[in-house]
Amino acid sequence: MSARPTTPASPKNFQIKGPQPGMPLYGCEHVQRLFNQDQATTNTSVQHYKAILRNILDLPAMQAQTAKAMDSGAITTSLTPTYLCLQCPSILSEEDLAKHGSRKSHRFYVDSRSGALYCQMCEDIVWDPTLEELRQRKIATGTFTPRRKRKQDEMLAADPIKDDPKYITNNTTLTSCKANGLRGIYNAGATCYQNVVLQTFLHNPILRNFYLSDRHSSSSCDIPYCLSCAMDDMFQDFYAHENTNGYTAANILSGFWISEKKAFENLVTTKEQDAHEFFQFLAEELHERNGDGMRPESGSEHSCNCIIHQTFYGKLQSTTTCQNCSGVTNQVQSFLDLSLPLENLAQKKGKKSGSGSKATSMTLQECLEEEYIKQDKCEYRCNSCNSMQQARRQTSIKMLPNVVSIQLKRFEFKQGRNERAAKIETPVHFPLTLNMLPYTERARNFNTKEYPEWGRAATYDLMSVVVHVGEIDTGHYVSYCRVGDQWFAFNDHKVELASKSEVLGAKAYLLFYIIRSLG
Amino acid sequence: MASDPDSTGKAGVVVAPPECSALEKLSHSVLDDLLYNIVHDLVLNVHREEKMARARTAAIRIEKMAADASESSTPDSRPDVRIETDAAIYEDNRVLLKGNPLKTTKDILCPRCHLPRLLQPTDGKGAKKQDPSIIYCKKHPYIEKAGHDIYGQTWVAPGPGRGKKKKDLEKKLDGADPSSPAAAAEGTIKDRPAHVLSFPSATCSKCKRCILVTRLNNHMGACIGNSGRNASRTAAQKISNGGSNGGSQNNDNTPPGSQRGTSLPASRAASPRKRDGDEFDEDADESDPTNPKKKKLKPTTLTRKVVLKKAPSAAGTPLAATKKDKVKTSSMLNMEQKIDADDGKDLTVQVASKKVMPGKGGHLQPRS
Ligand SMILES: [Zn+2]
Ligand SMILES: [Zn+2]
Ligand SMILES: [Zn+2]
Ligand SMILES: [Zn+2]
Ligand SMILES: [Zn+2]
Ligand SMILES: [Zn+2]
Ligand SMILES: [Zn+2]
């Protein structure tokens, strides 16, 4: 039990969470008694609880899942939960709980699968505010220290606005409990490709916090037809008004029509367009409205700190190694999204499986692995060799963004005699929780098994899915967004409940994953 | 794993047939344990949510009693009284639980408005009639009912479009709704129940005309863009030329003009605003060049703005952009490139060809 310190000596006295309105001070009367014995008992209990959580969450599961039977002394490892005594280092099976309790008068046990606290006297799991905060923070961030106190992790993008999105409604003033951000957006005539992207923005906690904390206020901005102001107005309408009818995104639309972005000129039509391009357009437009006014590429060290950069932008590093002289070139590039070429990957996977034809389905992780773990060959001009050489190139993620946006490239333009765009229907299975660590530069250079906290810091939860349904030119866009644990389906003005299986079964076009450790 | 040969895992649901190998029995019991764990995790989540909500309810209730009991005129200070109920004790300005809130507290109060939460939806799956004598919190359980949205709303179904066929797809997505009163909706607005909505109109920010929402894009194309068809021509040209857009993406990802919006005429009286724009012909190139576009569009009804009380620490983010930030560039954010300073010493070679970075037109890469 190396993970369970036996010496209770703590340099600092632990303070339990103070009283908060609308919240009991303790999980139950018995926890209250435990925390009111003396400071030493409180310190020991909290220290043990932390040690148990570390054991459960950081060490191999074998540790906590192995219990010693009280009578026979038999060691059993089980798949189902065991109970770790809060007051001594024992690990018990469910059957032995009562016996251990009566023999040792130990009354609190931690469930080995979740870290939840079981009170034997209540005969129930109790949710103590102090201990629950520790558990939540450990699960989310891998550490007990709040993130803002930790030193900046270079693997992750700049800290975003950190407030817990769950409590946002509790902290807003004036709003009705009905104003929850769940509204559809009317199709203004082939604009469903915009609506799906707007919904993913509306249900992005980082962007929501930004706009609801008045960081780009439409009342103090003078830019005519500013799209960021239009976003600000939209967030207000969604989160401050009781209206459940669909929203008319007229300001967004006029901002879109008036925008002078040459790069997106072809988007500005009355025809249905690509949701991914609209996402890029919106991101760039909002960057320009909220950024430092510099061209993003000016100066090699210039990194924008605007809300869009803080939310979506990460960095890729590609390393090219000359096969002749072993010289290495590193190139860093920032990215708004990761784009995965399905056609290629499906063909490659098909070849590998020996079937010769395209793979019938893939996983998101396979696609990411192909792009950000595997090497490829290329030709390039080597400076030391002063000639064209064969080289190996590998690209990995140098800095992860707070929201990882992934495009599954389903639209390919087939060249040749019958030039046409085709839609690739290959299903790509994507998870609710995604570990991005394997695709980082760090995973290439370190044995990540030794740093379990990195994996936790690189854990992302699925936030939104944009789906293109139907044929390439008669299709329609819908999206799914998650609010807390509940998923919602957005089809223009209509919002419906969606099950996780419905979401996971969708043929995704765009995926948005948000970092878990926002806390 | 249990040693008893007849037993299985903890759930006791997946049981191996009596005549089978030890391995088969083991795999059954593993599967059974996994099933147990899934259920365990689900139950734990529900338990947490429910028990915490009840504990808070007990706290809210007793705090209110304490506030009522004390004569203090300053509402913010916590009253100095002792109160005890079946569920909690209020003492020394603290709330202490008594017993298990799952047993002591039967309902849930909203932590924001302190009104009771409605626990069953009012319509659709699992619906229950609400007690009319109780004022509930406005956050209701979401409604699950075919053809209705989460608020139980439906829309006046699109009538005969202006020469456009209704897409089969849309039918599929909206779900068939046989009970929809839409068929009778045109002209019988008075009979329409409150949950049946019609498509609204919006004011064009340039010409200030009132336009039915489903025609807004087409209208703006003509009114603001004045190049709706020009732009689409440009786009078509670009696609055939293989021109780049966004600096980061190839046109082959773009589904060429897909579904044009289905025209959805709303019932006439739906909009309180003037409706002269309703008849706006989407095909008319009717822009108004004299109308200045400097006029800033403002939200119509918003007087008080909702802002988070606790402004998050500004992680160096500049506040709202000011006027002079107005930069118009054909920005190519994704192409920001630099040589990593840390690895500068390795800089013996340079990449010669402009390769397409993975993630950006990655399928064009010369990959092995
Ligand atoms: Zn013990
Ligand atoms: Zn207890
Ligand atoms: Zn603005
Ligand atoms: Zn920026
Ligand atoms: Zn070389
Ligand atoms: Zn409420
Ligand atoms: Zn107009």
Q: Would an 8 Å CB–CB cutoff place B77 in contact with chain A? A: no
CATH number of A29-144: 3.30.40.10
Question: What are the tokens at B284?
Answer: 């008319």
Q: Report pLDDT for A179.
A: 86
**Under 8 Å between Cβ of B192 and B156:** yes
Closest CA in chain B for residue A17: B94
**Mean pLDDT calculated for residue range B80-88:** 89
* Res B312 pLDDT > 50: no
Q: Reduce the DSSP state of residue B181 to 3 states and report it.
A: helix
Q: Reduce the DSSP state of residue A97 to 3 states and report it.
A: helix
Closest CA in chain B for residue A347: B363
B27-63 tens-digit pLDDT: 999 999 999 999 999 999 999 999 999 999 999 999 9
Say yes or no for a CB contact (<8 Å) between B96 and A474: no
A387-414 tens-digit pLDDT: 888 999 999 999 999 999 999 998 876 6
Q: Would an 8 Å CB–CB cutoff place A191 in contact with chain B? A: yes
Say yes or no for a CB contact (<8 Å) between B309 and A233: no
* Res A201 pLDDT > 90: yes
* Res A350 pLDDT > 70: yes
**Mean pLDDT calculated for residue range A177-200:** 92
Give CA–CA dist A447/A449, Å, rounded.
Answer: 5
Number of the ligand closest to the Cα of A45: 1
Question: What are the tokens at B121?
Answer: 């939806």
Q: Which of A275, A498, A290, A284 is nearest to A406 (CA)?
A: A275
Q: What is the CA radius of gyration of chain B?
A: 32
Residues 6+ apart with CB under 8 A from A100: A70, A85, A90, A92, A106
CA distance A277 to chain B (A): 8
Mean pLDDT of chain B: 63
Partners of A395 in beta bridges: A318
Q: Report pLDDT for A262.
A: 60
Q: Terminal CA-to-CA distance of chain A, rounded, Å? A: 30
Say yes or no for a CB contact (<8 Å) between B317 and A26: no
User: pLDDT higher for A239 or B277?
Assistant: A239
A37-86 tens-digit pLDDT: 999 999 999 999 999 999 998 888 888 899 888 888 888 888 999 999 99
Q: Which of B72, B179, B58 is nearest to A28 (CA)?
A: B58
**Under 8 Å between Cβ of A119 and A30:** yes
Say yes or no for a CB contact (<8 Å) between A261 and B112: no
Q: Report pLDDT for A295.
A: 55
A506-518 tens-digit pLDDT: 999 999 999 987 6
Q: Report pLDDT for B17.
A: 86
* Res B3 pLDDT > 70: no
Residue A326 CA, ligand 2 centroid: distance in Å: 65
Phi, psi of A453 (to 5 degrees): -70, -25
User: pLDDT higher for B86 or A452?
Assistant: B86
Q: Which of B265, B199, B155, B217 is nearest to A250 (CA)?
A: B217
Q: Which amino acid is at B172?
A: K
Q: Would an 8 Å CB–CB cutoff place B190 in contact with chain A? A: no
Burial B108-118 (b: 16+ CB within 10 A, else e): bbbbbbeebbb
Band (pLDDT 50/70/90 cuts) for residue A347 is confident
Q: How far is CA A473 from CA A271, A409, A421, B254, B289, in A?
A: 10, 16, 9, 10, 33
- DSSP annotation of A210 reads H
Q: Which of A60, A55, A50 is nearest to A144 (CA)?
A: A50
Q: Which helix (H) or strand (E) holds A206?
A: helix A205-212
Q: Report pLDDT for A455.
A: 80
| Angle between helices A192-202 and A250-258 in degrees, nearest 10 | 110
Which of A173-182, A344-353, A420-429 tops mean pLDDT? A420-429
Band (pLDDT 50/70/90 cuts) for residue B244 is very low
Band (pLDDT 50/70/90 cuts) for residue A257 is confident
- DSSP annotation of A440 reads B
Q: Report pLDDT for B6.
A: 52
| HEC assignment per residue over A26-60 | CCCHHHHHHHCCCHHHHHHHHHHHHHHHHHHHHCC
Band (pLDDT 50/70/90 cuts) for residue A351 is confident
**Mean pLDDT calculated for residue range A495-516:** 95
**How many other C-beta atoms are found inside a 10 Å radius of the C-beta of residue B299?**
17
Mean pLDDT of chain A: 85
Say yes or no for a CB contact (<8 Å) between A23 and B95: yes
Report the percentage of chain A scoring pLDDT > 70.
85
Which of A26-40, A290-304, B187-201, B207-221 tops mean pLDDT? A26-40
Number of the ligand closest to the Cα of B208: 7
**Under 8 Å between Cβ of A76 and A97:** no
Range list of H helices, chain B = 22-69, 101-104, 168-174, 216-220, 228-241
Q: Report pLDDT for A129.
A: 96
Please name the member of B78, B113, B326 whose beta carbon is closest to the beta carbon of A177: B113
The ipTM of this complex is 0.81
**Under 8 Å between Cβ of A125 and A118:** yes
Band (pLDDT 50/70/90 cuts) for residue A264 is low
Q: Would an 8 Å CB–CB cutoff place B235 in contact with chain A? A: yes
A145-176 tens-digit pLDDT: 765 544 445 666 545 444 444 444 444 455 78
Q: Which 294-353 residues of chain A touch chain B by CB within 8 A?
A: 295-297, 300-301, 305-307, 310, 313, 316-318, 320, 322, 325, 327-341, 343-344
**Under 8 Å between Cβ of A109 and A118:** yes
* Res B286 pLDDT > 50: no
Residue A131 CA, ligand 1 centroid: distance in Å: 18
User: pLDDT higher for A255 or A156?
Assistant: A255
* Res A2 pLDDT > 80: no
Q: How far is CA A228 from CA A233, A255, A285, B92, B322, in A?
A: 9, 9, 8, 48, 12
In residues, how long is chain A? Answer: 519
Q: Report pLDDT for A298.
A: 39
Give CA–CA dist B32/B14, Å, rounded.
Answer: 5
Please name the member of B10, B326, B350 whose beta carbon is closest to the beta carbon of A223: B326
Burial B317-341 (b: 16+ CB within 10 A, else e): bbebbeeebeeebebbbbbbebbbe
**Under 8 Å between Cβ of A477 and A196:** yes
Q: Would an 8 Å CB–CB cutoff place B368 in contact with chain A? A: yes
Q: Report pLDDT for B71.
A: 66
Domain boundaries, chain A: 29-144
Partners of A464 in beta bridges: A481, A512
A with B: how many residue pairs have Cβ under 8 Å apart?
552
Give CA–CA dist A137/A132, Å, rounded.
Answer: 8
Q: Which of A268, A374, A399 to mutate to test the interface with B (most CBs of B within 10 A)?
A: A268
Closest CA in chain A for residue B146: A496
Q: Report pLDDT for B190.
A: 54
Give CA–CA dist A426/A359, Å, rounded.
Answer: 8
Band (pLDDT 50/70/90 cuts) for residue A467 is very high
